[in-house]
Each structure stands twice: as structure tokens, then as C-alpha cells.
Structure 1
Amino acid sequence: MSSSPTSHSNTELLTESSELSDLKQVKPIQLLSAQELNALNERSNVQGTLQLAGHLAVMGGSGYLWATQSDRPLLAAVALVIYGFTFASMFATMHECVHRTAFANNRINDIVAWCAGLLSFYNGTFYRRYHKWHHRYTQIPGKDPELDDRKPTNWREYLLELSALPWWIGKLKTHFRVAAGRVEDYLRSCTSFNKGLPKKEKSERKGVIKI
């Protein structure tokens, strides 16, 4: 006798339930001990300063070579690529300082985050709050602000995204819009994200609008 569709369906559900149960019982592998993690997470003003100085030295050196070696086009081209990378990676500098992990002193973190953000066309003060909401509500629609960013859905859109043109266009539009005092979209976004949030976070969102 052949089994009924309902029987097949029940069997599949039981199998899936069993697999999910097995997954829940799997414990994550601890690669590092608590002591090792604490050592890696230790903040240092000296190490942070040395790393920042190295970054700025590469930026200054590559920029100098690009500006002064026009008679040696290959060297100038290589220097320009490196120079571009140092500017693009200023976002990483801002990101670490926004998390306040680069330096032991939070004031230094905030100052460097603001300066690095300036070089990467971001507002470090705004991004610290924005990024905190992203980490607190990761992948939760209506609460994770990074879900608002449009995602490419095909190869053409993906390649266009890689070109960075949409990013630059968006940045320029945003800067001119805010400079002209047109912040209605940001106020609406702030109001939307405010729903259901604790009082402290609501006040932070209002503060972001004033930056």
C-alpha cells in the first residue's frame, strides 16, 4: 500500500524537527580561552597611536609620490592606488574608534573617529549612534537602520555597486540636502525608529538630528 500525502508530510516534519533538535544540542567550539580574549581586547593608547601614525605615514608617503613623480607614470600609478586605499580604509579607523576599541581613552577614540570620518565622508558622532542601533537590533526590520540600504538584485546592479558610483551620488545628495536644511527624511526616519524604543535611545536619535 502506498502511504498517504499526509503521512509523508508528517514524516518530513518529524525529520526536520529532529534535525533542528540536533542542531540546538551542538555546542560552539571555543577557539580562544577567556584569558586570550581579554589579552586581545586590551586597549592601549600607545598601540593605537602607533597604528594610526603608520596609517598616516603610508597616506602621506604615497600621496607625496603620486604628486611628485609625474615623470614616472608607473610609480605614480602604484602610489595613487595605495593612496586611494589609505583614504578608503579610513572608514575602518573610524569604525574601530566608534566602537572605542582603538585607544584606551574614550575621548581620543571620539576625536580620531570624527577626523577619520571627515576623510571618509562620514560623521563619526552620528555613526557611533547609528552603528550601535545596528548592532543592538541586527537584521530586525524597522529597527536595524542598515536594512534601509538598497541591496543589488542582479549582476548589473552588483557591478554598479562595486563601482562606488551610487555611494558617491548618495553622499553628495545627502551632504547638500542637509546643508540646505532639508532634513525631513531624517526626522521621519528618526520618528519611525523611535517607536517602541527606550527613552534613552529616543533622546539619542533626536540628538543625532542636531549634529
Structure 2
Amino acid sequence: MTNDGLNASRLGSEEWPLTGGAMVPKKSLKVLRERSNVPGLLHLAAHIGALLLTGSMIYLSMGTLWIIPATLLHGAIIVLLFAPLHECSHGTAFRSRWLNTTVGMFAAVVSMRPFLYFKYRHTAHHTYTQHEHLDPDIVPFPSTLREYVLLILGVSFWPKMIGTYWRGLTGRFSPVELSFIPESDIRRVRREIVLTLALYVAVAMISIALHSWAAVIYWLLPRFVGEPVLRAIRMAEHTGAEESPDLLANTRTTLANPVFRTLYWNMPFHAEHHVASSVPFHALARLHKEMRPHLNCVANGYVEVHTQIIREILARRRFARQSSTGGPA
């Protein structure tokens, strides 16, 4: 499985030959693919700074109702660590390999996603983007508002996350997982999961010994309540786009403000990332300028995306009711 964006023939697989990569000139890609440590370190510093700021807001708001928005904001910054985890899994966040691995594993531990496991799962997502059965991360379009709300709340995410850790701990990976984890790396993936769980247990034991709620207040609770923010972002990337091999139509680019783009490491330029996943995050804005006329799925913000999704859900429900009663379609 490969998806480096150099040309259309190397995107996807025989089962799912992705298209769209041919429209990016090789000459442009060669320049855009240049990696550097500086942008990644600057974004990492901004992210850690934001975490310290929102963590301080929680500390200062203790005993007041202001702790609720402070916790929600801190949780949003925590779950956005998915962005450096994601970029490091591609090996493009930094020029140095050890930085990609170290920062990726740090973000993985904090956001509760095994780094190596995610790397292989995400490769399958890029190879089979929007394939109904082979894309492990496809989010089917919600058929009702209830289903939409449950997706946003992460009701299906948490059982999947717990299941991933349990199967990694016991070594009983599912057939789907064995389809994207190389046999030669199963032990490494399992070892990382076991060590991560051991670290979580150590944090719990130290917290109990010190009678400290710090881990809960500044990490676990915010991490939990912040998940809907990430669910909404992840849904915007593909949900409602075409379920076809056309990367220019099956992935959505969402135009966001500079602050959010910094904290989400330019991942709102998502169609660009899928077309050329070897291009580092800091060059995606430049790639967007070249690709913009060719993109079929672009939104002017996350509110617009979810407004469209909700309207489509309601429209489909109306059509279904009218069809069942014999009314006008």
C-alpha cells in the first residue's frame, strides 16, 4: 500500500485506484515535499503554550463556574494533539526521524492512541479513502439527527479505543487490524500498547499515593469532554463527500482561521493532504493555491460543513416520509 502523491498511478491500490494526484505537477511537488524541523518545532511550541495557558485557566477558575468553559477549552487543545500525532505518523512533521517518532509518541500517549497502531491504520485509510468496506476510518453518513449527535459525542469512538487497547494487551487483533498491521511489526505494535497501558497504570498509582486529582483535572476529564470537538472536525474531512476513489471529491478541504490552522497543523487542507501525503503540513497552504480550482469539496468553515450535513439529514428524512406516504418527492 502506498500513497506518496507523486503520480496518480501510485495512489491507492488495485482494488481502489485513487485518482487526483496527476493534477499536481511533479516539479511543484519536488519543492513542496522539502522537510524542515523549524515549522514543526514552532507549531509544537505554540501547542504546548496553548496547553499551559488553558491549564492555567483551569487552575485560576477552581471553585467557580468558569472552570466549565476552561475545562472545555483545555480539552479542545488536548484533542487537537491528534494533528501532530497524525503528521508524525507520516514522517513529515519534522526533518529528523527521531523528532517525528518522539513527538508522535508523546501526542499519542496524551491523546490515547497507540502511535504505531495508528500509523498502520492511517495508511489503510489513505490507501482506501472512502471505500465502503476497506477504509477503516470511513464515517457513514448519519441517517438521523440522533445518529449524528451520537457520532459527535464520540459514543462509538470510546468503545473502539478501549477495544484497541484490550486487543493489543491480549494480542488478539481482529482480522481487519491484521489486514493493515504488517506481520513483522505485530510484536512492536503490541509492545507499545502494553508499555503505554503500564504508563497509564503508573500515573494512576502515583496519583493515588499522592492523593492527587491533578491527572484527572488537567488531563483525563478534559480529554474526555474535548472529544466531540475532534469528532466534529474528523466528520468534516470526509462525511458527506463522495464515496468514490476521486480524491478531489471524496475529501473535503475546510477553510479555517489562522489560529485554528496553527493548532491543527494545517490539516483543514485535507484534500490537499490526501492528494499528496508526502507534502509536509507547513506547505499545504501553498499546495492549496495550486489545487483550489480543481477541488470539488470545499467549505468556508466547520459550521458550514455541519449545517450542510444536518440539512441533508433532514432532507433525506423528508424524502423518505414522502415516499412512504406516496406524497410528492
Q: TM-score range by the shorter chain?
A: 0.5 to 0.7
Structure showing greater Rg: 1
1:11 is matched with none
Aligned partner of residue 52 in structure 1, secondary structure: helix
Match of 1:161 in 2: 151
Structure-2 separation of matches of 1:136 and 1:170 = 21
Q: Tell me the TM-score normalized by structure 1.
A: 0.66
- 1:66 maps onto 2:58 in alignment: yes
Decide whether the 8 Å contact of 1:65 with 1:79 is kept in 2. yes
Structure 1 residue 188 corresponds to structure 2 residue 178: no
State the Cα deviation string for residues 18-61 of structure 1 (Å, max 9, x = none): xxxxxxxxx9996x866655454332112211110110111011
Instruction: Output the CA distance in 2 between the equivalents of 1:134 and 1:173.
Output: 19
- Among 117, 123, 129, the alignment partner of 1:126 is 117
Q: Does residue 81 of structure 1 match 2:72?
A: yes
| Cα displacement (A) at 1:136 | 2.2
Normalising to structure 2: TM-score of the pair? 0.45
8 Å Cα contact 1:160-1:166 kept in structure 2? yes
| Alignment-mate amino acid for residue 176 of structure 2 | S
Quick check: 2:168–2:190 contact (8 Å CA) kept in 1? no
Please, which of 160, 165, 188 is the counterpart of residue 170 of structure 1?
Answer: 160
After superposing the two structures, state which structure 1 stretch, 64-73 or 97-106, moved more.
Answer: 64-73
Q: Does 1:116 align with 2:107?
A: yes
Q: CA deviation at 1:71?
A: 5.4
**Cα drift, residue 171 of structure 1:** 2.1
Between Structure 1 and Structure 2, how many residues are aligned? 173
Deviation at 1:69, TM superposition (A): 2.3
Q: Displacement of 1:107 after TM fit?
A: 1.8
More helix by proportion, 1 or 2?
A: 1
Counterpart AA for 1:101: T
8 Å Cα contact 1:190/1:206 also seen in 2: no
Q: Tell me if the contact between 1:117 and 1:123 (Cα under 8 Å) persists in the aligned partners.
A: yes
Task: Report the alpha carbon displacement of residue 130 of structure 1 after superposing the two structures with TM.
Answer: 1.5
Match of 1:43 among 32, 35, 60: 35
Identity of aligned residues (%): 27
Structure with higher RCO (Cα < 8 A, 6+ apart): 2
Structure-2 change in CA distance of 1:39 and 1:72 (3 Å): farther
**Among residues 97, 109, 120, which one is paired with 1:106 in the alignment?**
97
Q: Offset of 1:165 from its aligned partner?
A: 2.8
1:134, CA displacement in angstroms? 2.1
**Where does the alignment leave 5 or more consecutive residues of structure 2 unmatched?**
1-19, 193-329
Q: RMSD value over aligned CA atoms?
A: 3.3
Equivalence for 1:17: none
Residue 203 of structure 1 corresponds to 184
